[in-house]
C-alpha cells in the first residue's frame, strides 16, 4: 500500500514538474503579460489594465491596420499603441478623419471621444511627410498612434517603428475581470 502511494505521488510530482516546464516555455516564448501604464490608449485601454500579448515571431505581413501592439520604445520602456499605417501606406489626417492611400477610413474605437467632444480637436491635421519626411510608411516599418490622441506620445512624435521593436499583438485584456475583452 505504501509503495503504491509513493509511486502515485512520484507520478503526480513528475506531471506537475512537466506542467511547470511547459508553462514556463509557453510564457517565455509565446505569451507575455503586460500592464498598461498611462492614458494614451483610453478609452480602449486604461492605466492598470492587464493584457496578454502574443509574442510569436511576426513578419510585417502579419499585422493588420488597427491591431493593438506592444513594442520596445527604448531600452527601458515598452509602449502599447494601435497600428495605423502599414508599409507602403500613405497616411493623412484632415478635419479629424483618417485617410489611408487617399481613402477615408473609419475609426470606430474613437467614437466615444467624438461623442463627448463633437467640436473638439482629437487628432489634428497632418501628413506622414510633414511629420516624418517620408510620403509613405517604409518597408519593415509601422506607423502607430494611441487612441487618446490628445494625450498620446506616438508616431506623430517619434515617427515609424521597426518590426524588430514589436514585442507582440495584444490578444486579451483580462484585468479588471469585468472588462475581459478578447476582441482588441
The CA–CA distances, whole Å, from 135 to 94, 116, 151, 170 equal: 15, 32, 25, 28
By CB neighbour count within 10 A (0-12 exposed, 13-18 middle, 19+ buried), where does 146 fall? Answer: buried
Q: Is the per-residue pLDDT at 103 higher than 80?
A: yes
CATH number of residue 19's parent domain: 2.10.109.10
Nearest to 109 by CA among 170, 167, 59: 170
Grid cell locating 122:
482629437
**Domain assignment present for 31:** yes
Helix (H, G, I), strand (E, B) or coil at 174: strand
**Domain assignment present for 25:** yes
Strand partners for 127: 92
What confidence score (pLDDT) does residue 19 get?
Answer: 62
Q: Which residue has better confidence, 105 or 116?
A: 105
**Domain assignment present for 101:** yes
Side-chain-side CA neighbours of 151 within 13 Å: the count stands at 12
- 142, 161 contact by CB (below 8 A): yes
What confidence score (pLDDT) does residue 83 get?
Answer: 94
Strand partners for 143: 85
Instruction: Name the least confident of 23-32, 59-68, 175-184.
Output: 175-184
pLDDT digits (tens, 9 = 90+) for 143-182: 999 988 877 888 898 999 998 898 878 876 555 545 555 5
Distance, CA of 41 to CA of 149 (rounded, Å)? 8
3-state percent breakdown (helix, strand, coil) of the chain, nearest 5: 30, 30, 40
Distance, CA of 103 to CA of 117 (rounded, Å)? 24
**Domain assignment present for 97:** yes
Bond before 176 cis per omega within 30 degrees: yes
Percent of the chain surpassing pLDDT 90: 21
Q: pTM for the full model?
A: 0.75
Which structural domain range is residue 134 located in?
Answer: 2-175
Domains of the chain: total: 1
**Domain assignment present for 184:** no
Residue 151 φ then ψ, to 5°: -125, 30
| Catalytic site positions | 40, 81
**Domain assignment present for 95:** yes
Q: Quick one: CA torsion of 154, 158, 161, 164, rounded to 10 degrees?
A: -110
Q: Is the per-residue pLDDT at 70 higher than 80?
A: yes
**Domain assignment present for 152:** yes
**Domain assignment present for 182:** no
What confidence score (pLDDT) does residue 173 get?
Answer: 59
Q: Is the per-residue pLDDT at 92 higher than 60?
A: yes
Amino acid at each position: 500500500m505504501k509503495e503504491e502511494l509513493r509511486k502515485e505521488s512520484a507520478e503526480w510530482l513528475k506531471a506537475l514538474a512537466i506542467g511547470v516546464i511547459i508553462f514556463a516555455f509557453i510564457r517565455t516564448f509565446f505569451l507575455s503579460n503586460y500592464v498598461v501604464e498611462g492614458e494614451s490608449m483610453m478609452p480602449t485601454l486604461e492605466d492598470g489594465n492587464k493584457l496578454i500579448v502574443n509574442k510569436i515571431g511576426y513578419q510585417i505581413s502579419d499585422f493588420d491596420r488597427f491591431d493593438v501592439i506592444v513594442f520596445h520604445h527604448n531600452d527601458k520602456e515598452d509602449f502599447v499603441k494601435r497600428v495605423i499605417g502599414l508599409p507602403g501606406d500613405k497616411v493623412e489626417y484632415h478635419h479629424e478623419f483618417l485617410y489611408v492611400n487617399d481613402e477615408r477610413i473609419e475609426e470606430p474605437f474613437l467614437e466615444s471621444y467624438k461623442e463627448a467632444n463633437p467640436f473638439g480637436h482629437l487628432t489634428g491635421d497632418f501628413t506622414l511627410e510633414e511629420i516624418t519626411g517620408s510620403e509613405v510608411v517604409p518597408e519593415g516599418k509601422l506607423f502607430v498612434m494611441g487612441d487618446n490622441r490628445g494625450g498620446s506620445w506616438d508616431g506623430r512624435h517619434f515617427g515609424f517603428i521597426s518590426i524588430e521593436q514589436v514585442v507582440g499583438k495584444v490578444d486579451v485584456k483580462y484585468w479588471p475581470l469585468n472588462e475581459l475583452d478578447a476582441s482588441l
